[in-house]
Amino acid sequence: MLDDTVTSICYYNGTWGTGEVPLMTSATNAAWLANSVFDGARAFEGVAPDLDLHCQRSIRSAEGLLMKPPVSAERVLALAREGIAKFPADAALYIRPMFWAETGLVAIDPDSTRFALVIHTSPLPDPARGFSLCLSPYRRCSPDQAPTHAKAACLYPMAGMAIADAKRRGFDNAVMCDPIGNVAELTAQNLMMVKDGAVHTPVPNGTFLDGITRQRVIGLLEKDGIAVHQRTIRPGELHQADELFSTGNHGKVVPCVRYEARELAIGPVYRRARELYWAFAHSQVAEPVAARG
């Protein structure tokens, strides 16, 4: 067990280190040409839902950027479990496997792919507080403009600009559209809209990741008898929503309490979605979910 003062550990080059572990040098390809990918999983309340799927996606992301991961998804999973066990059983943790290219000039050397696993404490957002949303002027890229098929680090500076703009305007987060102006997702979460008791969510079109938590929540809602429509959503529809909530690894299922100038109630469909997800997370046997995105 770690000392109580340790809040972050990192597995790199065959050993575990604590605190901030140096990973790159001034010559590292990824440090200046952005050839890196990562994934994010959660451990909380003694459980780590869909940890295996997050580890598998980290491998697919690396391969999607033409890297050759030096470890398997099974090895990433085993290391993640090993690292989680170093913290108190009920710790809220963020688990981040990372792959990057060490050498190459524009085109990477696939055999130079490096791996690290970072695990650090990170409290879950307070669902009672919720979050506020605005429509962002920044958009997601199309698949021919950026590696949107992977959880690539180079996609996140645009999301960072979007959320910084939202915060300057007094909001917590922002809705980002795709290149032709349809709703895509939030800056780092998927979006669910509730109207007349049914859930509507943007259909995956290659401009954003079909998140693992998104897939899980959709499956749980449908099994519970709640209709979920994956379809094209125009920004104007969000103003007419009965409820809005997000799904994503960091907060799992969190309600939106204000969209632009309109206050929103924390509604029954959101509450049911969160209840179902928490029950799933604490269940002994995880139901399968499609490994996409």
Domain ranges of the chain: 8-121, 131-281
Where is 178: in which H helix or E strand? none
Inter-residue contact 114 to 153 (CB < 8 Å):
no
Domain boundaries 8-121, corresponding CATH code: 3.30.470.10
The predicted pLDDT at position 293 comes to 37
What separation in angstroms does the CA of 174 have from each of 16, 163, 177, 281, 287? Answer: 36, 6, 10, 27, 31
The predicted pLDDT at position 290 comes to 46
- Over the stretch 77-116, which tens digit does the pLDDT of each residue have? 999 999 999 999 999 999 999 999 999 999 999 999 999 9
The predicted pLDDT at position 288 comes to 52
Tell me the pTM.
Answer: 0.94
- How many residues are there in the chain? 293
Query: Which residue positions in the chain have pLDDT lower than 70?
Result: 284-293
The predicted pLDDT at position 292 comes to 37
Residues 6+ apart with CB under 8 A from 194: 200, 241, 242, 243, 244, 245, 267, 269, 270
Angle at which helix 212-223 crosses helix 268-281, to 10 degrees, equals: 110
Unique residue bearing structure tokens 């969190």: 254
The predicted pLDDT at position 4 comes to 78
CA-angle at 229, arms to 223 and 231, nearest 5° = 150
Fold of 131-281: D-amino Acid Aminotransferase; Chain A, domain 2 (3.20.10)
